[in-house]
């Protein structure tokens, strides 16, 4: 399996107009820190689109063999379309003999999101109470 080429195609598939489900075998399992393991990829896509309508991801490192691989990534998007978020994570996948994903496991720290939302809220509050707010 040519993992660097696979990762490049996946980056496009993870974008707002990509075809993420095409990477999965029927019945594949998806999980991340937000979602329990599920085979409902459509629900995962809907939730991601609702949370980050402009989500995009860069894969910075990938390794694997014929049975699976792992990759590190940096993702960007605007939470709810308003708060800019940068998220760093790692994904582990199992693949079938055709290179389709049978199990996807995302790992990332939800505190990264919380910290950025808090920083954004603090900045917004300061702006609202600054000198411009009284004019």
- Structural domains in the chain, sorted by start: 3-109 (3.10.450.50)
pLDDT for 100-121, tens place per residue?
999 999 999 989 989 999 999 8
Confidence class for position 123, pLDDT limits 50, 70, 90: confident
pLDDT, residue 133, reads 52
pLDDT, residue 131, reads 60
pLDDT for 21-36, tens place per residue?
999 999 999 999 999 9
pTM attached to this predicted model: 0.85
55 phi/psi in degrees, rounded to 5: -60, 135
pLDDT, residue 16, reads 73
Is residue 104 within 8 Å of 24, Cβ to Cβ? yes
């Amino acid at each position: 399996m040519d993992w660097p080429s696979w990762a490049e195609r996946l980056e496009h598939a993870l974008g707002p107009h990509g075809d993420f489900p095409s990477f999965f075998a029927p019945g594949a399992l998806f999980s991340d820190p937000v979602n329990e393991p599920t085979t409902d990829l459509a629900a995962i896509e809907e939730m991601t689109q609702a949370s980050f309508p402009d989500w995009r991801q860069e894969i910075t490192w990938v390794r694997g063999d014929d049975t699976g691989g792992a990759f590190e990534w940096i993702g960007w998007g605007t939470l709810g379309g308003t708060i800019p978020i940068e998220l760093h994570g790692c994904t582990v996948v199992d693949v079938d003999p055709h290179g389709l994903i049978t199990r996807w496991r995302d790992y990332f720290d939800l505190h990264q999101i919380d910290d950025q939302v808090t920083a954004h809220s603090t900045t917004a509050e300061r702006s609202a109470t600054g000198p411009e707010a009284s004019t």
